[in-house]
Structure formats: C-alpha cells, structure tokens
C-alpha cells in the first residue's frame, strides 16, 4: 500500500474556506485533519486525487475523489468531502462531518436482490466499525438504477448501477481532531468492496462482495 499523499495530484489542493480565500488562517484542527488524510495508506487499486469541494456547506471543506482500477477497467468511483465548522453544527453534533458518494455498476441479476440496499448500507457501517471507528448521526440513501438500450445501442447489455450517498460525524479525538486517515481507509475499503475486489487481508475474509462486469459509466 502507498501513502495517499503519493496518489494525490497537484492540480488543486481540494480545499475551500472563507478564511483561506480572504488570506486568513486555517484552523489548526482542520489543517491537522487534512494532513491526516494525506498520510493515509490505501490499497494500490485506489487512484485518489483532490477535487474542488462543494461551497456553502461549511466554513471549511476538503474533498477528494477516487477510482477503483483493475488493469484498464474502472470498477467503482466515489467522492469524499470533509466539512468543518469550528462553531459546531446542531445537526452534526460535532465540528466535523464526512460526506460521501460511492457508485459502481453491477450485474443485473445481482442488483435484483431485494436486500441489496440494506447490504450496501451495512458495508458502509461495517467498514467504519471494522477499523474501530466511533461515529454518530449517520444518514444516507442507497439507490439502484437500471438501463436498457435500444436502437443503435441495442447491442449493449442491460446495466445496473448502485449508488450510496451518506454522511456521518467522526468522533473527535485529541485537540478536537478526528482520525480522518482511518476514516479514509475505511471509505477505501467500502469502495473496493462495492467494486467486487477480494478482501485485502485475512481480517477481511468474512466480507461479502458483489461480482463486477465493468466500471460505472459516469458522464
């Protein structure tokens, strides 16, 4: 596994804050949380780079996106956003919040399983708990959508995409800083799991994955 910082591109720092935009200082807790993200060690199948974070969700934000790559195939992709409000947020019950979007394309017969949404949500919570992470106020949706092709596209096989949108409040540790590196690694575990990759180690042997046919078709 390689440190996440070696897998980040240098095109953008992925950060957005009203203070940095105005030439002010970034809160030490937020800076430490972002530095921890860059130190995380991820599976080699994950290609990670920073991206422009959404605005107006919090005074400070950092975002990255990742793709699970197997050879020339993109099996899954996702985005993770770290939000920070030094004044706290009533809905978060904390000063930090993690927001994610994860998606992958599945075999139609696998996606027809009526328990798939519950299973996918358990993958998220299970990934966090497997790394011993404490969190609260978790919420989100699991969506599956099918595509059938006609006319000039009729030769394409039907495709089904699964999408997880979620957010949770990471428990803050020393200095009010959550263990964002561990949360990123757990998120990477989720991405690889939804991509259908085999577990990375003996500790993950009980994890159930879904077979993959091809990567998501993202516009």
Q: How far apart are CA 161 and CA 58, in angstroms?
A: 30
Nearest to 121 by CA among 170, 190, 183, 185: 190
**Residue 212 in this model has a pLDDT that exceeds 70:** no
Domain locations in the chain as residue ranges: 28-195
Q: What is the pLDDT of residue 116?
A: 84
pTM for this prediction: 0.80
Q: In terms of pLDDT, which residue wins out, 58 or 201?
A: 58
Q: Which residues fall within 8 angstroms of residue 71, CB to CB, at 6 or more apart?
A: none
**Residue 177 in this model has a pLDDT that exceeds 80:** yes
Which pair of tokens denotes residue 5?
Answer: 């910082």
Start-to-end Cα distance in the chain = 30
Check if the beta carbon of residue 98 is closer than 8 Å to that of residue 80.
yes
Confidence bin at 14 (pLDDT 50/70/90):
low
């Amino acid at each position: 596994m390689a440190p996440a910082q070696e897998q980040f591109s240098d095109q953008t720092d992925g950060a957005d804050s009203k203070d940095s935009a105005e030439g002010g200082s970034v809160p030490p807790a937020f800076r430490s949380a972002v530095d921890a993200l860059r130190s995380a060690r991820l599976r080699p199948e994950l290609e990670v780079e920073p991206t422009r974070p959404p605005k107006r969700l919090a005074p400070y934000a950092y975002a990255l996106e990742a793709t699970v790559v197997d050879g020339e195939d993109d099996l899954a992709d996702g985005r993770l956003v770290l939000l920070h409000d030094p004044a706290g947020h009533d809905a978060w019950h904390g000063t930090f919040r993690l927001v994610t979007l994860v998606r992958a394309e599945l075999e139609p017969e696998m996606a027809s399983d009526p328990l798939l949404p519950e299973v996918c949500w358990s993958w998220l919570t299970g990934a966090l708990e497997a790394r011993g992470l404490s969190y609260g106020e978790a919420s989100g949706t699991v969506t599956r959508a099918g595509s059938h092709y006609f006319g000039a596209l009729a030769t394409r096989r039907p495709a089904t995409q699964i999408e997880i949108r979620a957010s949770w409040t990471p428990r803050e540790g020393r200095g009010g800083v959550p263990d964002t590196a561990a949360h990123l690694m757990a998120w990477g575990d989720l991405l690889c799991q939804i991509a259908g990759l085999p577990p990375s180690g003996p500790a993950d042997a009980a994890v159930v994955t879904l077979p993959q046919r091809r990567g998501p078709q993202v516009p």
